[in-house]
């Protein structure tokens, strides 16, 4: 039977200070950034919320294969470019 795997304690050589020296430990962690909890960390994640006017709406749209292939061949951001082309067409009609 295999031995149970356990987390090994960090080797002293992996630590940039002497863990047995209190002064060295405090000096290393002196400029560390403290936080008040997980909520503070979660607030920084992700993109900022958009206003309802800025949000996009997901739809199902049928497009000819050759048109879709042409947009996809242009690389990342093809959906944004397709949206810009539709907007330009809309604005040209006004």
Domain that holds residue 67: 59-94
- The arithmetic mean of pLDDT across residues 63-71, rounded, is 96
* Residue 77 within a domain: yes
What DSSP string runs through 7-50?
PPPPPGGGSSS-TT-HHHHHHHHTTPPP-S-HHHHHHTSSPPPP
- The arithmetic mean of pLDDT across residues 65-80, rounded, is 96
* Residue 23 within a domain: no
Is the pTM higher than 0.75?
Answer: no
- pLDDT at res. 2: 64
- pLDDT at res. 6: 64
Q: pLDDT band for position 84 (50/70/90)?
A: very high
* Residue 63 within a domain: yes
Q: pLDDT band for position 60 (50/70/90)?
A: very high
* Residue 93 within a domain: yes
* Residue 92 in this model has a pLDDT that exceeds 70: yes
């Amino acid at each position: 039977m295999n031995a149970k795997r356990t987390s090994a304690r960090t080797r002293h050589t992996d630590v940039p200070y002497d863990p047995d020296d209190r002064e060295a430990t405090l000096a290393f962690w002196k400029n560390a950034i403290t936080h008040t909890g997980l909520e503070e960390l979660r607030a920084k994640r992700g993109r900022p919320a958009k206003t309802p006017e800025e949000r996009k709406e997901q739809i199902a749209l049928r497009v000819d294969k050759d048109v879709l292939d042409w947009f996809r061949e242009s690389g990342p951001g093809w959906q944004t470019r397709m949206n810009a082309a539709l907007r330009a067409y809309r604005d040209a009609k006004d």
